[in-house]
Amino acid sequence: MNFNILNKLFTFVMNICNKYNIDESHGLSHSMNVLNYVHDIYEAEKYINPGLKEHENIIYVSAVLHDMCDKKYMNEEEGLQEINKFLDNIIKEEEKDIILQIISTMSYSTVIKNGFPELGIYQKAYHCVREADILTAYDFDRCVIYDMYSKASTFEQSFERAEELFKNRVFKHAENNLLTTQFSLENYPKLHLNAMNRIKTWKNILKK
């Protein structure tokens, strides 16, 4: 992915975040983090599934834009329409269509409700993007930050809700068969441990 395309993608993310008041938990830094994870997943998976190389642009663009239609912040269809219009002069029509399918079916709530979509030759690309987003979910502070913004809560209230969410959701990603790629399966234990240690550190801080 060249600088020209990446510049356009990140500028679009910034504009959408400003328009819909998307906070830092799902904003530009999150897009960057997901892009970095999807790169690592893609680099590992392309040797296992060589056909994935043909979908590199789809994977990277989906990773950057995946939250720019998030129903937590906007009407999902409205967001998808804005993404669709934005992509008109950036990528091929067939790539645009699959990107919209990936980002509209990859959220945790959608997967839990409907399961994985059937995307044929793009199924592995879908999992690369979805799991990159899942790996960023192990960032405990990000979860607290989202709760503080969305509920106008105190840190203490948000910390308690975030800890509960990690117990009931994040720490059960593998158990719920949400991780399928080799990179995710090899690396989530470290992220799991980091999150547990972060929670422990916050509890030590709160005792003082």
What pLDDT, on a 0 to 100 scale, did the predictor assign at position 1? 77
Percentage of residues in the chain having pLDDT higher than 90: 92
Q: Report whether pLDDT(94) > 90.
A: no
In this prediction, residue 208 has a pLDDT band, given cuts at 50, 70 and 90, of low
d(CA 98, CA 83): 12
Going by pLDDT thresholds of 50, 70 and 90, the confidence category of residue 206 is confident
Q: Using alpha carbons, list the distances in angstroms from residue 144 to 25, 39, 158, 160, 178.
A: 9, 26, 5, 9, 22
Whether 72 contacts 58, CB under 8 Å:
no
The per-residue pLDDT for range 12-39, each reduced to its tens digit, is 999 999 999 999 999 999 999 999 999 9
> What's the topology of domain 3-207?
Hypothetical protein af1432 (1.10.3210)
**How would you class 41 by CB atoms within 10 Å of its CB: exposed for 0-12, middle for 13-18, buried for 19 or more?**
buried
- pLDDT tens string 121-168: 999 999 999 999 999 999 999 999 999 999 988 999 999 999 999 999
Q: What is the pLDDT of residue 143?
A: 98
pLDDT (0 to 100) of residue 2: 84
Domain ranges in the chain are 3-207
What would the pLDDT profile of 41-62 be if each residue is shown by its tens digit?
Answer: 999 999 999 999 999 999 999 9
Mean per-residue pLDDT over the chain, rounded = 96
Per-residue pLDDT at 140: 98
Give CA–CA dist 62/96, Å, rounded.
9
